[in-house]
Amino acid sequence: MKIVLLGAPGVGKGTVANFLVKKLNLPHISTGDILREEAKTNKELREIMNQGKLVPDDFISEIIWKTLKKDGCKKGFILDGFPRTATQAEFLEEKNIGFDFVLNLKASEEEIIKRLSGRRICKNCKAIYHIENIKPKKDGVCDKCGGELIQRDDDKPESIRQRLSVYEKQTAPLIEFYRKKEILKEVNADQAVKDVLNSALGALR
Ligand code: AMP
């Protein structure tokens, strides 16, 4: 099954992806995770991301193309964070990469800001936590691998504002694009985490 997760930053795409990966046994392709790894040794990339801007279409499209061509992605995948612009969606069309479902996660702006500002990630395994909604057993320590929990540089207020504005301008128009293709499913992401996860799974029918 080939699934794309659409939705504003902070809406819970990563958390839903981690859940679906386990349920469906598919690889999780997170462009954010790939780029954060790359940015450790690439200052220019780090700056773009910390400012909450998008990296160039051709740069990320090339990475996605290489990833999707790998054997592990043949039977399906969960694509989280791509496409994010019309050019990226067109790139997938040109390469004939279709999807079974595009899940559009929707939440209020108030909830999104709360989630982004309280989000913590494991420095080591990238697991996602929240200071109120998804607490680790021990403060600041990842339940899964014992790694340190940190705040992403782009989860600070100025970057959050920029990322939400970029989302509205560049990514939100893709909702209509996939609705017209009749593969779009809406998921109410304003609910408690476990209900969002069940709604996402239920939408894949
Ligand atoms: P995310 O973890 O999905 O919120 O992505 C973090 C950051 O990585 C974004 O704010 C962008 O700077 C960059 N990024 C991730 N995916 C893409 C994409 N498809 N196109 C351009 N930039 C991206």
pLDDT in tens, 113-146: 999 999 999 999 999 999 999 999 999 999 999 9
How large a percentage of the chain has pLDDT more than 70?
100
Residue 154 banded pLDDT, cuts 50, 70, 90:
very high
User: 37 alpha carbon to ligand 1 midpoint, in Å?
Assistant: 12
User: 105 alpha carbon to ligand 1 midpoint, in Å?
Assistant: 16
Active site residue 13: yes
- The residue from 2, 36, 126, 163 that is catalytic is 163
Nearest Cα residue to atom 11 of ligand 1: 54
| Contact partners, residue 195, CB within 8 Å, separation at least 6 | none
Active site residue 84: yes
pLDDT in tens, 66-108: 999 998 998 999 999 999 999 999 999 999 999 999 999 999 9
User: 107 alpha carbon to ligand 1 midpoint, in Å?
Assistant: 19
- In whole angstroms, what is the distance from residue 185 CA to residue 168 CA? 19
Residue 205 banded pLDDT, cuts 50, 70, 90:
confident
- In whole angstroms, what is the distance from residue 152 CA to residue 180 CA? 35
Active site residue 161: no
pTM for this one?
A: 0.93
Q: 142 with 49: CB under 8 angstroms?
A: no
Q: Which pLDDT score, from 0 to 100, does residue 56 have? A: 98
pLDDT in tens, 2-25: 999 999 999 999 999 999 999 999
Element (H, E) at 198: helix 193-203
Q: Which pLDDT score, from 0 to 100, does residue 71 have? A: 87
Nearest Cα residue to atom 3 of ligand 1: 32
- The residue from 119, 120, 126, 185 that is catalytic is 119
- In whole angstroms, what is the distance from residue 188 CA to residue 169 CA? 21
Pairing assessment for the beta strands 28-30 and 77-80 based on DSSP bridges: parallel
**Torsion over CA: 58, 63, 69, 75 (sign):** negative
